[in-house]
Chains A and B, each alone.
Chain A
Amino acid sequence: MANINFSRAYLTMKQLLTGNEAAAEAAIQAGCRYYYGYPITPQNELINYMSVRMPQVGGVFIQAESEIAAINMVYGSAAAGGRTMTSSSSPGISLKQEGISYLAGSELPCVIVNIQRGGPGLGDISASQADYFQAVKGGGHGDYHLIVLAPCSVQEMANLVYDAFGLSDKYRTPVLILGDAQIGQLMEPVEFPEKPNKKSPSKTWALTGAEGRKRNIVKSFYPVKGQLEEFNNHLQEKYKNIEEHEVRYEAVNIQNADVILVAYGTSARICKEVVKKSQQLDFKVGMIRPITLWPFPKKFIRKISENAQCILTVEMSAGQMVEDVRLSVEGKCPVYFYGRTGGGVPASSEVIKKIVEIVPENLAANRLLQLAEVK
């Protein structure tokens, strides 16, 4: 770990940290005092950092015996009203899925960081975005969603981890930070400005001992016929509310763009470079970067697709987010996909090659359409 000085003055200055360290420090700045984890590359800087820092701020750090234990410790601390977090990487996040489903089913707030690596199975330790389905479609059993935030820089990692605690308390739901090995291990300048709202809102439902009040029960079991459906309807209402209010994205150069790239995290960094380089091409490239992967910016993408020539989704997977892009577009414009798998990271030149491959065809098709309309 970098030789870090933790004084407040130091933290408000710009520091060079890895994304993993920034996530850890941001959690501490956000008031998280209960961290449970299990080592796995490429998120080890995060657990290492927490082991030093949590005791300094009077918090709890436990190196759990497994990811399963870690997420269940999070479950306990969340149920008891504590601000709590765990982190891991792909195979470890798979192990946490049962616990995550229970957290969603018991409406408990917490933050989970997934620094994705290549899969399936043991895979490799380089950057990947192949856990997208698992992250945004549920992952564990049952009808539930996590709020999924995807940072594309070290500073944004810090900001989103901070916001994640607020969102998880506001909606009583686990929030997942979906990073990847590049975002986790990259070093960039970051600062941690002093922010308000470090404290959770009052948690009248938490387990604190029932002194002077009616007892609280934290559970997700509804054995009486009809009760579980009622509870699920309540969850779905909550998710609708989140979809209404919490969508975040960044749009770059999208006015009159011939091609719109859709990408998040590391692949969005590459696409940003493509947008810059495209100024030398004879067509315009724009980009939409979803920051919330769930709720997905589907209304915005749909609106843009009405005037767009075509959309190209770029991912470090065999094509997962592209399904949500297609669902958003509803056939209003063609959607293409470029992806690398198994730890492969697309180069900007590869993305440009793909653009050149799809654009003339599309423009030609469009000219035919215009001719048809003229008659």
Chain B
Amino acid sequence: MQAIYEKPKTFIDSATHFCPGCGHGIVLRLIAEILDSWGMRGKTIGLAPVGCAVLAYNYLDIDMCEAPHGRPPAVATGIKRVHPDKLVFAYQGDGDLAAIGMAEIIHAANRGENITFIFVNNAIYGMTNGQMAPTTLLGQKTATTLSGRNATNDGYPIRVCELLAVIEGSSFIERVSISSPEQVRKTKKALEKGFRTQIEKKGFSLVEILSSCPIYWRMDSNEAMRYIDEEMSRIFPLGVVKDWEAKK
């Protein structure tokens, strides 16, 4: 009998610490699938952020490094400069990348660092129990915006892809989601393109993935997927925002 679907070898066989319905597990699995099929397990260095994915190294069987909250772009820069021929990726949440680490991501993009950034946007701080993130939607209720995010006090949701796209050093930027099998397939394609951008030494790549946090969104998993499609995707439109190949 032929197996048509199985656990990727790069994905370590263990129960994950993620909550039911959380998107992190899906994205990490996609990374493992790609590294498996490209034979890249031994040529890759990954960065785990501070946030729910801090334990990503418990699931990915590759060399991995932790970074202080928000600093993965700087740490990844230091790694990549030592190993320019290894595939280096940083995996960051919205608090990590768009709040405390906004300076580092902008400047990594501006230097055109040949690194792939995987930006998991769940519009909330998961690990610290559901506070507002820079990407929290207007009106969205969180532990620190009990009556909903209010632009007057809290500012607006930040569109990271659009912001980074205007920076000359960025090469490939796409926003995808994990809300359905179809979207997950697109996410895998975007990750492949991000990695390929790096392997072909085309510079800075970032894939933003709209992801779910049913626990702190106070929703069940189905509602959470609908929320991604109907609410999040309106503010954060899916699609390629910048592509070095499209220029030609």
Q: Please state if B65 and A219 are interface contacts (CB–CB under 8 Å).
A: yes
Q: Find the B residue at minimum CB distance from A212.
A: B42
Contact of A358 with B by CB under 8 A: no
Q: Find the B residue at minimum CB distance from A61.
A: B81
Contact of A307 with B by CB under 8 A: no
Residues of chain A from 203 to 231 with CB closer than 8 A to chain B in the complex = 207-212, 215-221, 223
Contact of B34 with A by CB under 8 A: no
Q: Please state if A210 and B61 are interface contacts (CB–CB under 8 Å).
A: yes
Interface-facing stretch out of A2-10, A67-75, A239-247, A340-348: A67-75
* Size of B's binding interface in residues, CB under 8 A: 35
B interface, over-half SS: helix
Interface-facing stretch out of A79-87, A111-119, A278-286, A326-334: A79-87
Partner of B75, one of A66, A72, A210: A72
One digit per residue, 1 when the CB lies within 8 angstroms of any chain B CB and 0 when it does not, for chain A 21-62 equals: 000000000000010100000000000000000000000101
Residues of A within 8 Å of B81, CB to CB, are 34, 60, 62, 73, 76-77, 82
Partner of B65, one of A60, A99, A207: A207
Determine the distance from Cα of A212 to Cα of B74 in the docked complex, in whole angstroms.
28
Determine the distance from Cα of A261 to Cα of B11 in the docked complex, in whole angstroms.
62
Q: Please state if A79 and B75 are interface contacts (CB–CB under 8 Å).
A: yes
Q: Find the B residue at minimum CB distance from A66.
A: B103
Contact of B66 with A by CB under 8 A: yes
Residues of B within 8 Å of A62, CB to CB, are 77, 81, 111
Q: Please state if B74 and A215 are interface contacts (CB–CB under 8 Å).
A: no
Q: Please state if A76 and B76 are interface contacts (CB–CB under 8 Å).
A: yes
Q: Find the A residue at minimum CB distance from B58.
A: A217
Q: Find the B residue at minimum CB distance from A216.
A: B63
Q: Please state if B78 and A74 are interface contacts (CB–CB under 8 Å).
A: yes
Residues of B within 8 Å of A69, CB to CB, are 71, 73-74, 77, 103-104, 107
Q: Please state if A72 and B63 are interface contacts (CB–CB under 8 Å).
A: no
Residues of B within 8 Å of A98, CB to CB, are 68
Residues of B within 8 Å of A84, CB to CB, are 78
Residues of A within 8 Å of B68, CB to CB, are 72, 75, 98-99, 102
Partner of A64, one of B54, B74, B79: B74
Q: Please state if A82 and B82 are interface contacts (CB–CB under 8 Å).
A: yes
* Contact A219/B66 with A72-B104, A210-B61 known, Cβ cut-off 8 Å: yes
* Contact A207/B66 with A76-B78, A77-B81 known, Cβ cut-off 8 Å: no
Q: Please state if B61 and A79 are interface contacts (CB–CB under 8 Å).
A: no
Q: Please state if B75 and A220 are interface contacts (CB–CB under 8 Å).
A: no
Determine the distance from Cα of A216 to Cα of B42 in the docked complex, in whole angstroms.
11
Residues of B within 8 Å of A60, CB to CB, are 81
Interface centre among A34, A69, A77 (most CB of B within 10 A): A69
Q: Please state if B42 and A211 are interface contacts (CB–CB under 8 Å).
A: yes
Q: Please state if B75 and A207 are interface contacts (CB–CB under 8 Å).
A: no
Q: Find the A residue at minimum CB distance from B54.
A: A221
Q: Find the A residue at minimum CB distance from B100.
A: A68
Residues of A within 8 Å of B106, CB to CB, are 65
Contact of B186 with A by CB under 8 A: no
Count of A-B residue pairs with CB < 8 Å:
133
Question: Which range holds the interface residue count of chain A?
Answer: 35 or more
Q: Please state if B71 and A209 are interface contacts (CB–CB under 8 Å).
A: no
Contact of A106 with B by CB under 8 A: yes
Determine the distance from Cα of A84 to Cα of B81 in the docked complex, in whole angstroms.
11
Q: Please state if A215 and B86 are interface contacts (CB–CB under 8 Å).
A: no
Contact of A78 with B by CB under 8 A: yes
Residues of B within 8 Å of A79, CB to CB, are 65, 75, 78-79
Interface centre among B74, B103, B106 (most CB of A within 10 A): B74
Q: Please state if B66 and A218 are interface contacts (CB–CB under 8 Å).
A: yes
Partner of B43, one of A73, A78, A209: A209
Partner of B63, one of A78, A99, A208, A220: A208
Residues of B within 8 Å of A207, CB to CB, are 45, 63-65, 79, 83
Residues of A within 8 Å of B78, CB to CB, are 34, 36, 72-80, 82, 84
Residues of A within 8 Å of B61, CB to CB, are 210, 215
* Contact A215/B62 with A72-B68, A77-B81, A209-B44 known, Cβ cut-off 8 Å: yes
Residues of B within 8 Å of A218, CB to CB, are 64-66
A43 vs chain B, min Cβ distance (A): 20
A187 vs chain B, min Cβ distance (A): 32
Q: Find the A residue at minimum CB distance from B75.
A: A76
B177 vs chain A, min Cβ distance (A): 29
Q: Please state if A217 and B67 are interface contacts (CB–CB under 8 Å).
A: no
Question: Can you report 30 A-B residue pairs in the complex whose CB atoms are below 8 A from each other?
Answer: A34-B78, A34-B81, A62-B77, A62-B111, A64-B74, A66-B103, A69-B71, A69-B74, A69-B104, A70-B74, A76-B74, A76-B75, A77-B78, A79-B79, A98-B68, A99-B71, A102-B66, A207-B45, A208-B63, A209-B44, A209-B45, A210-B61, A211-B42, A212-B42, A216-B63, A217-B65, A218-B66, A219-B48, A221-B55, A221-B66
CB within 8 Å of A: which residues of B? 41-45, 48, 54-55, 57, 61-68, 71, 73-83, 86, 103-104, 106-107, 111
Q: Which 6 A-B pairs have the closest CB atoms?
A: A76-B78, A211-B42, A72-B74, A80-B82, A73-B78, A77-B78
